[in-house]
């Protein structure tokens, strides 16, 4: 609050800056759910996982998107 950035950061609201990773699951209950990335939101644009992984070859994409065993 002292620096005034709370007007722009700190919560998810219209007009605020927020980069997020949307996962399928609840990482508070199961930390492995962090590997279940669905969407990344950066600078107000949503990037589906398939679009982010399009830069990798198929073998790398499968390895990156799989949960550890």
- The helix (run of H) or strand (run of E) holding residue 53 is helix 49-53
In the predicted model, what is the mean pLDDT of the chain? 79
Q: Token digits for 10?
A: 């700190």
Give the tens place of pLDDT for each residue, 7-64. 777 777 777 777 889 999 999 999 999 999 999 988 888 999 888 888 776 665 555 5
What does the CA dihedral 50, 54, 60, 65 come to, rounded to 10 degrees?
A: -10
Q: Token digits for 35?
A: 């590997």
The verdict on pTM exceeding 0.85 is no
Rg (CA), the chain: 15
């Amino acid at each position: 609050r002292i620096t005034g950035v709370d007007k722009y950061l700190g919560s998810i609201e219209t007009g605020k800056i927020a980069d997020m990773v949307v996962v399928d699951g609840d990482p508070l209950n199961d930390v492995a759910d962090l590997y279940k990335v669905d969407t990344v939101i950066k600078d107000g644009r949503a990037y589906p996982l398939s679009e982010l992984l399009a830069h990798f070859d198929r073998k790398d994409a499968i390895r990156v998107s799989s949960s550890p065993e």
